[in-house]
């Protein structure tokens, strides 16, 4: 199973919560949460083929353009699923993850999900009936490894299902 991850600047490790103007970049390198998720991805015979990341400021400045470029990369790389997030208590990241997952599901033939922390309840409520959302613990809370395992499990079920979520 081919996977693409979408991350913000903090989760990618290429920026901070204050360094938000990181341009959209793609890498084949395993970075951020992908490193921690690797054993769980192996359990479902999945491999991260690319990680796309950008600063939340870059996204907020031009969400349509960033999302269009991400969707274009998804169409070219043809993954089985796109994992947007986890956003880990960053509401701008949660909004980006949810909207990008929605755009992927509605404009490509690829399944996507968003991993959003519980403290971003407004974003969860806004997109809960539009995309698959995995609720993750808030930053600093326990249960993150279990959430990562759940992300992989749900991704596998989505890919194996016949209907688009």
> What's the pLDDT score for residue 165?
43
- Chain centroid to CA 29: how far? 16
| Burial label, 49 (beta-carbon count in 10 A; 0-12, 13-18, 19+) | middle
Q: What six digits make up the tokens of 75?
A: 């169409």
Q: Which CATH class is domain 2-160?
A: alpha beta
Distance, CA of 72 to CA of 130 (rounded, Å): 21
**For 142, which DSSP code?**
S
pLDDT of residue 89: 86
3-state secondary structure of 68: helix
pTM for the full predicted model: 0.95
Length of the chain, in residues: 165
Q: Which tokens hold the place of 35?
A: 């490193």
Q: Would you kindly state where each structural domain of the chain is located, as residue ranges?
A: 2-160
Helix (H) or strand (E) segment spanning residue 162:
none
pLDDT of 162: 61
Per-residue pLDDT of the chain (165 residues; tens, 9 = 90+): 999 999 999 999 998 888 899 999 999 999 999 999 999 999 999 999 999 999 999 999 999 999 999 999 999 999 999 999 999 889 999 999 999 999 999 999 999 999 999 999 999 999 999 999 999 998 778 888 999 999 999 999 999 996 444
């Amino acid at each position: 199973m081919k996977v693409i991850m979408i991350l913000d600047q903090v989760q990618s490790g290429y920026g901070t919560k204050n360094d938000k103007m990181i341009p959209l970049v793609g890498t084949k390198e395993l970075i951020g949460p992908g490193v921690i998720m690797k054993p769980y991805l192996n359990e479902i015979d999945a491999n991260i083929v690319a990680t796309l990341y950008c600063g939340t400021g870059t996204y907020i400045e031009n969400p349509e353009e960033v999302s269009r470029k991400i969707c274009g990369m998804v169409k070219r790389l043809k993954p089985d699923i796109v994992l947007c997030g986890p956003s880990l208590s960053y509401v701008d990241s949660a909004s980006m993850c949810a909207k990008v997952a929605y755009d992927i599901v509605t404009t490509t033939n690829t399944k996507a999900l968003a991993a959003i922390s519980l403290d971003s309840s407004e974003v969860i409520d806004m997109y809960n009936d539009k995309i698959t959302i995995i609720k993750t613990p808030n930053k600093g809370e326990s249960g993150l490894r279990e959430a990562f395992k759940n992300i992989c499990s749900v991704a596998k079920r989505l890919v194996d299902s016949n209907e688009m979520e």
